[in-house]
Each structure stands twice: as C-alpha cells, then as structure tokens.
A and B are shown apart, each in its own frame.
Chain A
Amino acid sequence: AQKITQTQPGMFVQEKEAVTLDCTYDTSDQSYGLFWYKQPSSGEMIFLIYQGSYDEQNATEGRYSLNFQKARKSANLVISASQLGDSAMYFCAMREVLFGNEKLTFGTGTRLTIIP
C-alpha cells in the first residue's frame, strides 16, 4: 500500500474560492507527522504546514489549514481565498521513525491551477 496517497493529479479553481487538496496516509505508528509543501514552477519546495499525530487541534498557518482526521487517516490541506500565486504543485508528506531510522515520504502531488 502507498504510504501517502494524493488522488487528485490536477485541480482547477476560480480565484478567491477555497480549495481542498486531499491526502490519505498509511502507517502503523502512533507517533508521526504530516506536512504539506508547495512547489512552484521554479522548483523550490516551500514548507506550508505541519501536523503532529498527537496534536488535538488542526494546524493553521495564515490561509492554510490542515483538516486532520486521524481515524480516517486523512490530512487534507485547505486553502482559503485562493490567489493566482497559489498555482503550483502541492505535496503531502509523512514523517515516521522506524527502528530508530527517520524517514519522510512524499505523495505524488496535486497540480493546482487558479483561474482568474
């Protein structure tokens, strides 16, 4: 099974609308972390938001929020009031520590295009 699954290869959203990018994960660990990164066409990965598995409240960072549903193993990214500059690839990632070895696994990404 895939560790991180992003089922939306591409999305088109009207400017100023909210958008939800889906992410589901698979782990048997109790302690893990979930991230969202943005990758514009320039190629540089930009950290957006982090949620720890024990965090009871959903993480928020400005216009970004992470809808964490632990029982469903989902960690969707919500972008409010989308802007043209939000057009980019978005990657969900999970941090795990297995037998003392720490790893970060990324999904395949969702390409978000904001339409003026």
Chain B
Amino acid sequence: DAGVTQSPTHLIKTRGQQVTLRCSPISGHKSVSWYQQVLGQGPQFIFQYYEKEERGRGNFPDRFSARQFPNYSSELNVNALLLGDSALYLCASSTRQGLYEQYFGPGTRLTVT
C-alpha cells in the first residue's frame, strides 16, 4: 500500500507570495495533520482535520489555512510568505480522530527568498 504522499517535494518562493502544499493520506485514513519543521528543531503542529472538519489548530497566524477534501486529501495554504516560513512541511495521516498513531509523509521543503 502507498504511504502518505506529498507534493511538491521542493519549492522555492519569494517573500509575499502564496503557496499551496498537497497531501494524500494512506488509503482508509480519514485524519490529516500538518506540521512545520524548521531546520534543527522539532515539528510544530499547525492543523488537524478529520472528516473534512478542523479538529485542532496550533499557534500559527491566520496566513496559514488548510482544508480537507471528500477523498480525505488535504491542502495547506500559506499567504504573504515570510523568510521565516522556510521549513520542511510534514503531513501525517491516521485512521481515527485524534492525534494518535500517525504516519508521516516525506515532507515538502519550502524555501522563501
């Protein structure tokens, strides 16, 4: 079975631009979460979605938004990019509601110049 997939793998954007990152969960998984991992630090929780509804939110500004589609895939949008948004963005999926055993994707490396 395919694991969690994320696209694109890498991306370079300029300050002020907007970016959309995509995540496809493992088949049968209904929960998707997003994390930001700045180099040298642990991941920071951004959002959790379950059955297309937001179930959890971390301490990120409103420039960050997400949604989950009927097929349980998800998009993370970041507006008005800042240099500090440069990070590895990880998506994770799980079978049930709640941040329990999660399976992570390989991440999208975003560089803001």
Chain A residues proximal to chain B, CB less than 8 Å: 4, 33, 37, 42-47, 50, 91, 93, 95, 101-109
Contacts and interface: CB of A to CB of B under 8 A. Distances in A.
Contacts of B107: 43-44
A93 B45 CA distance: 11
B101 A101 contact: no
B45 A91 contact: no
Contact of B103 (A47, A101, A107): A47
Interface residues of B, number: 24
Contacts of B58: 103
A102 B42 contact: no
Interface of B: 33, 41-45, 48, 55-58, 88, 90, 92, 98-107
B65 to A, nearest CB: 16
A114 to B, nearest CB: 21
B55 A102 contact: yes
Given A101-B56, A106-B43, A95 B104 contact: no
B90 A50 contact: no
